Structure formats: C-alpha cells, structure tokens
Chain A
Amino acid sequence: MLTSSERFDAAGAPRPCGVGVGLVLLPLALIAYFNGIFLAFTAMVRRSDSPQRGAEVSFVIAWLLQVGAVAYEGVRVGYFPLTSAGDYLLVLSWIVLTLYLLVALRWRITQASLILPPLAAVMAFVALLIPARRLVLPPAQQKGWLSFHVGISVLGMGALCLAFAMALIYLMQDRALKAKRAPRVMERLPSLATCDRIGYHAVLWGFPLLTIGIATGQIVLWARHGTLWMGGPKQIFPILAWAVLAVLLYARLVRGFRGRKSAYLTIAGFALGLLTVLGMTR
C-alpha cells in the first residue's frame, strides 16, 4: 500500500503514476501468459491435447491476475483506470484475453491460442513499460464523455482484435484447403464457416462501437480544445480503420462479399486500429 504522501501530491490530487502498481500482479500475469503461450505452442507442435489444457489454465490465471491488476489500480486512483495509454492497453489486453477464453472454451477454437493471448501479452507488457503519464483529471471529467469515449473505444478495439484473429485463422484454413496437402493442419483448424461467422459478428459489434468511439472522441476534443481537428495518428487512424470496416460491411451486406478478401480487409482494419493505440502512447 502506498502511504498517503506517496499517493497524493501536495495539492491533494492523485499522483501522476503509471500502471506501476500492478508491480507484482502484472509481471505474474505475464509469466502466466508466457507459460500458456509456451504450452499452446507445444500443443500445436506435438498435436496433443493435454498441453492445450494446461495453456488454457494458464490463461485463466493470467486473466484473474489481470483483473486484480486493473482492480488494484482502480482502487488506488479511485475510479476506473482508463486515462493513460498504459491503462488503455492493460484493459484492452484484458478484453482480448476474455474474448480468447470465450472462443477457446466455448467453440474450442484452440488455434486462437497462438494469436490472441500473445497479442494480449504484448499489450500488457507494453503497458508495463511505457512511461507513466496519467492525466490528472478533475473529478467531473473522470466520468462523463471522456470515460465513455475511452470505454467504448476499447471495447470496439477488442472486437477488432477478435475479428483479426478469426480472419487470420480463416486464411490459414483457406490456404490449407487450397494446397490440398495438409489434412493434419486442417484438422486442428475450425471450419471456414465458423471463422467467418465469429469474425463477422466481431466486426458487426466492433463497427458501431468504433463509430460511437470516434463520435464521442470528437465531442471530447471539442470540449477540451474547442476544435474538431487536431490531426495526428490518434485521430487519423481510427477514421481510416472505420472506413475500411465500412467498406467491408457494405460489401458483405449489400453484395454478399466474403471469403479471403474479406479476411484481408479485416486484417487491414485491425492494423489501422492498432496504429491508433501506438499513436496514443506517444
């Protein structure tokens, strides 16, 4: 526990401080992540079920530790910790892991073990590393538009991560089927239809969230800076990602467009979304 002089500066506002608090929990979570990823990799190479189960247990532990890290940080600062890039990444990482556990345990898409958890682990790791630059917010702003904007955006980005993973698996299965040589690769991959369905639903949820995220972002920008355009990756990339997803959904809903090209577009949308996150950390 921090003493009160560590926790507050002279003016009594919470000290600007990074995710450093998860000092114990977060590294432990990362250890669980790496253990899980290692086991998942072993399971893939040896094509055996028991390491996969071990991997899933590790990821559940990582999930719990991360809940702990977020909760601890929340208690420490007194509100849901979503005001610094580190917070954002930590929460996003946790959402990605949650979605992974959903697809792995609910639909047995074990292949996602080598996509989503590593992605989440990298995010959590970066969250641990980046310099702590928490915004010191007046309580009025801790709730309200900013929290809403960041909350919605992080959910949208989580959905996009899931869509990305499913697009990647779709492409792997597509290649295996086209190459006609690898029933053993195919065996562990879910069917194209399953990848398509889950990926599509992820985009279907992610798109409106992203839309609302961008709109509320504009409101926040206006409220704080009196302008609607500041440029910079934080503003440009979400709009690009949004445009890619718009094209994807339009083609799908109106023209029945799906398959490999859809998967490529999904990956592009995800990549642009990720650039936004990188922009935030600058």
Chain B
Amino acid sequence: MLVLVGLNHKSAPLAVREKLGFSEAELPLAVERLVTGDPVEEGIIVSTCNRVEVVARAKDRHAAAAAVKEFLAREHGVSLDEVDKFTYELEGSEAVRHLFRVVSGLDSMVLGEPQILGQVKRAYEVAREAGATGAVLDRLLQQGLAAAKRVRTETGISRHAVSIAFAAVELAKKIFGDLGGRSALLLGAGKMTELAARHLVSNGVSRIVVANRTYSRAAALAERFAGEAVNWDEGFAFLERVDIVVTGTAAAEPVLTKAIVQKAARARRSGPLFLIDIAVPRDVAPDVNDLDNVYLYDIDDLQGVVDSNIEERRRQAGLAAAMIEGEVASFARWRQSLDLAPTITALRDRLHGIGKAEIERFRRRLGTLSTDQRQAVEDLTRAVVQKILHNPIRHLKGCATEGSGSDVAGLYRRIFDIPDDLTPAPDGSEPAAASASPEAPGAPGPGGRDD
C-alpha cells in the first residue's frame, strides 16, 4: 500500500515548514533512515521551501502512515501532535494523484511553476542512490516525472510569465525578438529597477546604463551588471540609443514627459523603444504610449498581463488535471496487474499439478514406456493444461486493465479451489518474475528493495 504524508503552503505555516524540511545535505541519510525502520519498505522524501512530501510503501497502510509521522517527529525533534496537526495523509490512488499534481506544478503556490519538477527529480535521484526505492516507487516516480513533462509541453500551464519582471522580459521579447546584444537604461537605482535589470541581463541584454540622482548609487548598481553609470542629466541622452528603459525613481512627477520621449524617438534610428515604468507614482507620462514605435508599460499594465496569464494558467490547469487522471489510472492498472501475479502463478501451479498427479496415477496402466514415450505423455498433458489456461488468464489480465481484476481473481480462486490466504504479492514483483511458486511473506529485505 502506498501512503503519502506531507505538508505544504496550505497546510502549514512557513515556520513549521522550515522546521520539518530537510536540507539537501541531510536528505540522503534521512531517506535511508526512513526505509531502515520496519514497516516502510520503499520511500522518497521531497523537501522544498514550500512543501515536504514523504511517499512510502509498506504492507500495512496504518502502520506506514504512523511510521512516517514518527519519522518526521523524530528527525526534527518535534512532537507527534504537531506533525499530526500540520500534515495530510493520503493513500493509494489519492497519494499517486497528489504526487503527480505536485510534480506537474498543479499544487504549487504559483500555479504551474516549473522548478518543482527539477526538485522532485533530484529527490528521486537521492532516494535511488540511497537504495530507498524499489520497483513500485521507481515506476511511480518515473511515470510522475514523465507526466509532468507532458503536462508542461502539452498544456500552457507553465507558459506565461506570472511575475512582473518576467512579464516585462516576455514583452521585450515580443518587441525585439532576441534580447541578445540589446541595451537598457535604468533611471533610478532602487531594488525594483535592479530586479528588472537582472531579468533583462539574464535574458541576453548586454549593455546596462544606470542614471540616478545620487551618482554613487548608480555606480554601485552599474558595477553589479558590469554596466556604466552616468549622471542624472546625462541619462536622458541615452534615450536615443538604448532599446529598453526601466524607470523606478521616487519622483513625484513624471520625469519622462511626452515631449522628452518624442524628441528622443525622432532622433532614434534603431527601431522601437520599450519603456518599463515600475515606479509609483509613475515616472513616465501615460500619453507617451501614443508615440509611434514607443511601447510603455507601467506597473499596472504589467500586473494586468500577469493577471491574465494567471487566468490562462488556471484554464490550462483543468486540462492538466485531466491528463493526470489518465496517468493515475494507468498507474493503478499497473499495480493491479501486480496483484494478479500470485493468482496467475497459483492457477498455473494448480492445473499443472493436477496434470502431473494424473500422469502418476496412470503410470501403472500405461505400462513400461520408453523415455521418448514418457516425454510425449508429459508434453501432451502440459500442452492441454496450457491450452485450457490460455483464455482464462488472458481474460483476467483484460479485467485488470478495466479495473475489475481482483473480483475476477477471487472468482478464479473459488472455482479452482485456490486458498485465499495466498501470499499477497510482494509489491513490485513483475508478473513475469513471479512465475515460480507463491513467494514467502515478507520477502523484501531491510532495504525495501524487491527483486
């Protein structure tokens, strides 16, 4: 049984998330400790600043969930009550669905944010290297990561910028195409202009000019981008030469009026000018946007873009959720096919056993047989049994894909008188691998790895 115990930005405040999180350095040992204990056979820990998710597989779900909670309490030295209070507990398909939604960014604070995919990937690598995953979690994680990639490429859930700075970069790309080799002028040397500049530079803008009323601050900021600092008054001359202007001064009145920008725009020979005004009150007069080849976005405009992008992501989330349902169902089918393996094995053993017993019974009547003849009789019996088994097994596997596998398996057991206390399949053994006699209970070793 799979269980997932977790806490996220909805279930727990930051202070608790900090306390219950695992740093990257702690993670390998922690995940090893998770699966060393008794009930947990496979485990993985995903820990980011917004969430901790522990997925575990064990025979008994109650024991597993309790063990994971105890593990969290023990690891972080907090009381079990506190862990109980802030965590959620999911099992079976619910757990699978939650994990798949997490990886795809559907459960993220910023809907569709792509970082979580990398973080889960990393967590999986750590768990695998620590020997904490087996066939079930391997399959679960591989399918989850593949599903998340599909969600990302086939829906627009991660496509549009949902931060002001990213929205500005996206707009700049719609104007200039590639930002490589473009230049930007920063008017004002505050935090916001710096953030915007950082995004521009990381997207290819190669030249930064900073103008500030206090020159020293301009110089300090320019240095960070290997740019150029100029006096406030000189800054305006660059309007004719740069491609992008970011304004973020504390001025009460617009510093760039229509007249100033118009004059600069006339003198420009290098195509459009993109003005990003992130100051409140605004630094650029709104009517500047009426000028040809000049595109002005103030903080409200950018917020509007962000809002409509978030709206779009929500729409896409519906699509993504449907895709994930498909993946959850496909994982459940795989699990079911595993559950059927022991029944199939037992069924084969039973019928072949009957065949062998009958050969023994008839031995005397058959008289002395040559080796060849004996072989022929055995082959004949086996072939008959095989033929009889063929359709029932195919039918059973078909039922597994439709979800009614366990009912049909029960029916078969009654018909062929196979004992019900048959060992549940050690999770994770492939049907093909389970062709020998029913395996002994508790086969997996302490590492939780199934063979």
Contacts and interface: CB of A to CB of B under 8 A. Distances in A.
Contacts of A178: 289, 295
Contact of A192 (B174, B301, B305): B174
A191 B304 contact: no
A183 B168 CA distance: 12
A191 B270 CA distance: 15
Interface string B383-408: 00000000000000000000000000
A259 B271 CA distance: 7
Contact of B293 (A180, A189, A194, A259): A259
A170 to B, nearest CB: 11
Interface residues of A, dominant DSSP: helix
Specify which of B174, B175, B177, B292 lies most central, judged by the most chain A CB atoms within 10 Å of its CB. B174
A180 B269 CA distance: 25
Interface in A236-273: 255-256, 258-261
B312 A192 contact: no
Nearest to B267: A256
Given A177-B171, A193-B177, A183 B292 contact: no
A220 B268 CA distance: 44
B308 A184 contact: yes
Interface string B74-93: 00000000000000000000
Contacts of A187: 159-160
A173 B304 contact: no
A191 to B, nearest CB: 4
A192 B304 contact: no
A interface, how many residues as a size bin? Answer: 20 to 34
Contact of A261 (B170, B271, B292, B304): B292
A258 B293 contact: yes
Contacts of B173: 191
B161 to A, nearest CB: 9
Contact of A258 (B178, B271, B297, B305): B271
Contacts of A196: 271
Interface string B259-290: 00000000011111000000000000000010
A46 interface: no
Contacts of B174: 173, 177, 186, 189, 191-192
A282 interface: no
A261 B170 CA distance: 25
A194 B171 contact: no
Specify which of A177, A189, A256 lies most central, judged by the most chain B CB atoms within 10 Å of its CB. A177
Contact of B269 (A173, A184, A189, A255): A255
Interface in B142-185: 159-160, 170-171, 173-178
Contacts of A186: 174
B293 A260 contact: yes
A174 to B, nearest CB: 9
A259 B272 contact: yes
A180 B175 contact: no
Contacts of B177: 190-194, 197
Interface in B308-340: 308-309, 312
Contacts of A259: 271-272, 292-293
Contacts of B293: 258-260
A78 B18 CA distance: 83
A192 B292 contact: no
B176 A183 contact: no
B304 A181 contact: yes
Interface string B188-223: 000000000000000000000000000000000000
Interface string A158-181: 000000000000000100011011
Contacts of A194: 177
Given A177-B171, A192-B176, A194-B177, A184 B271 contact: no
A251 B270 CA distance: 13
Contacts of B297: 180
Contacts of A184: 308, 312
Contacts of A258: 271, 293
Interface in A186-245: 186-187, 189-194, 196-197
13 contacts: A173-B174, A177-B174, A183-B170, A183-B308, A183-B312, A184-B308, A189-B174, A192-B174, A192-B177, A193-B175, A193-B271, A255-B269, A259-B292
Given A183-B312, A193-B177, A197-B177, 16 more contacts: A177-B171, A178-B289, A178-B295, A180-B297, A180-B301, A180-B304, A180-B305, A183-B170, A183-B305, A187-B160, A191-B175, A191-B176, A192-B176, A192-B272, A193-B175, A256-B268
Interface of B: 159-160, 170-171, 173-178, 268-272, 289, 292-293, 295, 297, 301, 304-305, 308-309, 312
Interface of A: 173, 177-178, 180-181, 183-184, 186-187, 189-194, 196-197, 255-256, 258-261
